[in-house]
Amino acid sequence: MMVKALRAGREVAGLHVGVCNVRRYFPKHLPAIELQLDHLRIECGLPAEFWHGQPEIRDPRLSLWLISKNLIAKSFATPIPISMIPSGENSFKLEPATPHGKLTARPAHHAAS
């Protein structure tokens, strides 16, 4: 799924996931998700507003990662797409998207045991 960096004023605050992505990828009232940011895994809480018109994930560690990857548009009018790839139960891997908005990696396939 494609998401965008979220700003709060001039600061990077996290991710805007989008209402359609919330409906499709997130079980209702899920308390938290795990994000894989390169080698770092973090758990981010999801507030009740996430399912009620504010589909945002905010975390200081996520914000620092977005800044370190230069995933912040210099212009407020130019959102930079970011790939949020399901990587397990309630777990997602974040990666920069290509210039044409395509995913840079494919979701991992799990072999049946």
For residues 57-66, give the mean pLDDT. 91
Q: In the chain, what percentage of residues exceed pLDDT 70?
A: 74
109, pLDDT greater than 50: no
User: Nearest Cα to 58, choosing from 3, 106, 20, 98?
Assistant: 3
Side chain identity at 100, as an amino acid letter? H
CA distance 15 to 58: 7
Q: How open is the CA angle 31-36-38, to the nearest 5 degrees? A: 160
For residues 94-106, give the mean pLDDT. 62
What is the 3-state secondary structure of the chain? CEEEEEEECCEEEEEECCHHHHHHHCCCCCCEEEEEECCEEEEEECCHHHHCCCCEEECHHHHHHHHHCCCCCCCCCCCCEEEEEEEECCEEEEEECCCCCCCCCCCCCCCCC
The pLDDT score that the predictor gives to residue 106 is 46
